Amino acid sequence: MTMNDPQQQQMIRDAMKAIAERRPGRTKLVYDKTKKTIVAVAEGSEPPRALNITADDADMFGVITLSGQWLRQEWHRLNGSASIAARFTSWDNGDAYTHYELGPQGGPTISECTIALERASEPAPRLRIVLTKVNAVGRAGNTFVATDGSIFVATAYEHQDGRDIPLDVTIAEVQPALSARRAGILETSVLSDRSALFIGLGTGGGYATIELAKCGVRRFALVDPDRLSVGNVVRHPGGISQVGRLKVHVIRDLILEKNPDAQVDVYPFAIAAENMDAIRPLVRAANVVICGTDNRPSKLLINQLCIEENVVAVYGGAFRRAYGGQVLRVQPRVSPCQQCFVSAMPEQAADVEISSPDEAEAIAYSDRPVAVEPGLSLDVLPIANFLTKLALLELLDGKPTSLDVLRRDYSAPWYLWLNRPESGTPYSGMPPLSDSSDEMTINRWYGVGFERDTACPACGDFLNVTAAAHGIDLDSVVIPSKV
Amino acid sequence: MWTSTQRTRLALEHQLLQVHEFTQFSVYHHAAGDTYSASGYASSNAGYKYHLYIPIPAGFPTQRPEMYVTEPNPLLMTGGVQINSLGVSHRMHALTPHACGWVQICHWRDNRWHSGIYLHQVFLKGLIWIEAYEQHISTGRDLADFVRTMAETA
Ligand SMILES: [Zn+2]
């Protein structure tokens, strides 16, 4: 093959065209190190010592992304005045311009852009998008169908040093694009009427919110009194530039980044007995409650409310230093509740990660501190992931999806996961993962069944059972009065 | 403000105190503010009297009740130091004192409390604390030396 070969020339032309149109071609370009030049090869044949050239290598222009939904809303204004202004975040020194209205968190550098129906515009603004009327909808991402059905193709230019430099335009249609990626597993609107209440937005709870937003859940209620600290950042989804903000606000914005149509209500207060009246309506309105707090009083209070309001709750937590973790799902008066769990497995219920000074303080005396011993985010995420999956199945309850086949696998009330054979735990002697066939090992979920306590003080008939056991007639008891 | 389940639970608690022969203690209803407390005089083996007082919190029994020694007040350590001046103290098994200066006995920590624990068990821990306190007075050793860490028993 030489560069004079007409067949090779045609192949190069085809490949260039395919790259420019960002579609797969029958031939591709490679850099042949021996010949020190670009050659075209048929798809599937791989010349030795060659480097592939992809569409990314042809990505020489900046990119500008405009919200299609916004453009439809503003269409009458554009039609009336021939041009309108829009704000874009300028990223990476002008490599990308993203419409400020597209999401909740624009970047720090804002560029004004003129959107016009005519190409000519004097004096030329620094950034402009021009919409040209065409006859048919093309396949490219820069086609726009106006509210009156007329069709436009967008081109964009950045005016620099007296010249127009073209930009690749994309008109983004957010919801269709997001739904398309979930189609087949979760149908478009299957989760749009479902509502999740999150108690605690630490590493696990924060992760769960964002994952459910990606799944298409639209209604979120977030409860957490804490602010994001510098120390949180190594584990929390929130980043260093958000430090000091309430976690409910940090997570709300991250949810909106993943699902701009989500409705997120924030409640920056603690789970405490005095707040139960405020939290009860949130529980009542939820299809599932996701509890990621690591202190027992808050879990038991939420447990009480969820039983009284008959709402399924899932609780997730890491063991100390996240050597493992656990997930409990409570179906009120059907499966064991938190109180049943505390009675049945007190050691497991008390094994919690001490991931913040507040949590350490809650279980320490001031003259005998407890060390803060958080685990790695990496070791918390498997637990958060499982918690989210259980919550998703609850949210999908009654709606047929291809995830229904999972229900038989998620039938246990309690699930155990181990990240490592931590010394000083019952799991220190586990065989290596590679050796075990049926013994317990790291990196596997174990579903554990245990019985609901029918005399449970939270979900059972505690009062009558206890009274009967002591021969007490509850109706005849009179509590003495005292001033 | 109280649910019928809570009121019935408090009636049960009152009766269990009698059944378990903790008859020096009682649950009380305070009509003025429709509040409840549990209290009574405890006698140590050495014959001293202490008044134990448990205001019932709004979230009871899910929420942990606090237990105070209201008499004698102030309660002194060997050397004359007031226990309440220590604040939260593992040495003396005490939690944050009441605004009135009453020493708060650590019975169950928040992270060990659950609604399956009865008030008579809480009073029992109060009696153990009083005996340990008197051992502290006669030996000068920390109260914690005489009680197993109550936080660990649930
Ligand atoms: Zn229960």
Calculate what percentage of chain A has a pLDDT beyond 70.
Answer: 88
A71 and A53 co-located in one domain: no
Give domain status of residue B59, yes or no. Answer: yes
List the alpha helices (DSSP H) in A97-246: 174-182, 203-215
| Residue contact A479–B28, C-beta within 8 A | yes
Give domain status of residue B151, yes or no. Answer: no
Give domain status of residue B150, yes or no. Answer: no
Q: What is the mean pLDDT of residues A428-444?
A: 88
pLDDT in tens, A139-160: 678 889 998 889 998 988 888 8
Q: Is A79 helix (H, G, I), strand (E, B) or coil?
A: helix
Give domain status of residue B85, yes or no. Answer: yes
pLDDT in tens, A6-22: 777 677 767 766 665 66
Q: How confident is the model at residue A126 (pLDDT cuts 50, 70, 90)?
A: confident
Closest CA to A417 of A266, A316, A331: A316
Mutual angle of helices A247-258 and A203-215, in 10-degree steps = 30
Q: Check residue A434 and report its DSSP letter.
A: T
Spatial separation of the C-alpha atoms in residues A355 and A350, rounded to whole Å: 14
Give domain status of residue B30, yes or no. Answer: yes
Give domain status of residue B152, yes or no. Answer: no
Spatial separation of the C-alpha atoms in residues A383 and A203, rounded to whole Å: 10
> Does pLDDT of A472 surpass 50?
yes
Give domain status of residue A476, yes or no. Answer: no
Provide the domain limits for residue A24.
6-57
Provide the domain count of chain A. 3
C-alpha neighbours within 13 Å on the C-beta side of residue A46: 5
A131 and A164 co-located in one domain: yes
A76 and A98 co-located in one domain: yes
Strand partners, A111: A88
DSSP string, A232-284: GGGTSSS-GGGTTSBHHHHHHHHHHHH-TT-EEEEE-----GGGHHHHHHHHH
User: What are B35's two structure tokens?
Assistant: 């509040």
CB-based contact A91:A97 (threshold 8 Å): yes
Q: Does residue A352 belong to the interface with chain B, where contact is any CB pair within 8 Å? A: yes
A39 and A142 co-located in one domain: no
For chain A, the helix, strand and coil percentages under 3-state DSSP, each to the nearest 5: 35, 25, 40
Q: What is the mean pLDDT of residues B84-101?
A: 88
Q: In what order do the strands lie in the sheet with B94-95?
A: B25-30, B35-43, B49-55, B67-71, B103-105, B94-95
Give domain status of residue A372, yes or no. Answer: yes
The confidence score (pLDDT) of residue B151 equals 40
A218 and A292 co-located in one domain: yes
Calculate what percentage of chain B has a pLDDT beyond 90.
Answer: 56
Q: What is the mean pLDDT of residues A204-216?
A: 95
A168 and A210 co-located in one domain: no
Q: What is the mean pLDDT of residues A156-179?
A: 84
Q: Does residue A356 belong to the interface with chain B, where contact is any CB pair within 8 Å? A: no
A287 and A336 co-located in one domain: yes
Tokens 């209604």 identify what position?
A219
Lowest mean pLDDT among A5-14, A383-392, B33-42: A5-14
A194 and A337 co-located in one domain: yes
| Residue contact B91–A477, C-beta within 8 A | no
| A318 alpha carbon – ligand 1 mean position (Å) | 22
> Does pLDDT of A280 surpass 70?
yes
Q: What are phi and psi of A386, to 5 degrees?
A: -65, -45
pLDDT in tens, A41-50: 777 766 555 6
Residue A304: its chain B contacts at CB < 8 A? 62, 115
Instruction: Supply the CATH number for residue B137's domain.
Output: 3.10.110.10
pLDDT in tens, A174-207: 888 888 877 777 766 778 889 999 999 999 999 9
Give domain status of residue A1, yes or no. Answer: no
Q: Does residue B114 belong to the interface with chain A, where contact is any CB pair within 8 Å? A: yes
The confidence score (pLDDT) of residue B142 equals 82
Phi-psi region of B101 (alpha: psi -120 to 50; beta: other; left: phi over 0): left
The confidence score (pLDDT) of residue A119 equals 56
Q: Residue A383 is which amino acid?
A: I
Burial class (CB in 10 A: 0-12, 13-18, 19+), A225: middle
* Beta strands per DSSP E along chain B: 25-30, 35-43, 49-55, 67-71, 94-95, 103-105
DSSP string, B15-44: HHHHHTT-TTEEEEEETTTTEEEEEEEEE-
Give domain status of residue A177, yes or no. Answer: no
Q: What are phi and psi of A454, to 5 degrees?
A: -65, -15
Give domain status of residue A458, yes or no. Answer: no
A115 and A253 co-located in one domain: no
Instruction: Supply the CATH number for residue A379's domain.
Output: 3.40.50.720
The confidence score (pLDDT) of residue A363 equals 64
The confidence score (pLDDT) of residue A35 equals 63
Q: How confident is the model at residue A23 (pLDDT cuts 50, 70, 90)?
A: low
pLDDT in tens, B93-117: 888 999 999 999 988 888 889 999 9
Q: Residue A35 is which amino acid?
A: K
| Residue contact A368–B10, C-beta within 8 A | no
A367 and A430 co-located in one domain: yes
| Residue contact A463–B29, C-beta within 8 A | no
Number of other residues whose CB lies within 10 A of the CB of residue B22: 20
Give domain status of residue A253, yes or no. Answer: yes
Count of pairs with CB atoms under 8 A, one residue in A, one in B = 120
Provide the domain limits for residue B71.
4-145
Q: Over chain B, what is the mean pLDDT?
A: 89
A394 and A330 co-located in one domain: yes
User: What are A76's two structure tokens?
Assistant: 């009458």
Q: How far apart, in Å, are the Cα atoms of A314 and each of A195, A223, A336, B153?
A: 14, 15, 12, 27
- pTM: predicted TM-score of the whole model, two decimal places: 0.79
B97: preceding bond cis by omega (within 30 degrees): no
User: What are A397's two structure tokens?
Assistant: 């309850």
A265 and A389 co-located in one domain: yes
The confidence score (pLDDT) of residue A1 equals 43
Q: How confident is the model at residue B154 (pLDDT cuts 50, 70, 90)?
A: very low
Give domain status of residue A53, yes or no. Answer: yes
Give domain status of residue A120, yes or no. Answer: yes
Q: How confident is the model at residue B153 (pLDDT cuts 50, 70, 90)?
A: very low
Lowest mean pLDDT among A135-149, A448-462, B123-137: A135-149
Lowest mean pLDDT among A52-56, A216-220, B58-62: A52-56
Strand partners, A39: A30
pLDDT in tens, A343-357: 998 888 888 777 777
Spatial separation of the C-alpha atoms in residues A208 and A18, rounded to whole Å: 40
Give domain status of residue B54, yes or no. Answer: yes
Residue B58: its chain A contacts at CB < 8 A? 273-274, 276
Number of other residues whose CB lies within 10 A of the CB of residue A445: 16
Spatial separation of the C-alpha atoms in residues B22 and B45, rounded to whole Å: 15
Provide the domain count of chain B. 1
Q: What are phi and psi of A208, to 5 degrees?
A: -60, -40
B74: preceding bond cis by omega (within 30 degrees): yes
> Does pLDDT of A56 surpass 90?
no
| Residue contact A367–B59, C-beta within 8 A | no
> Does pLDDT of A3 surpass 60?
no
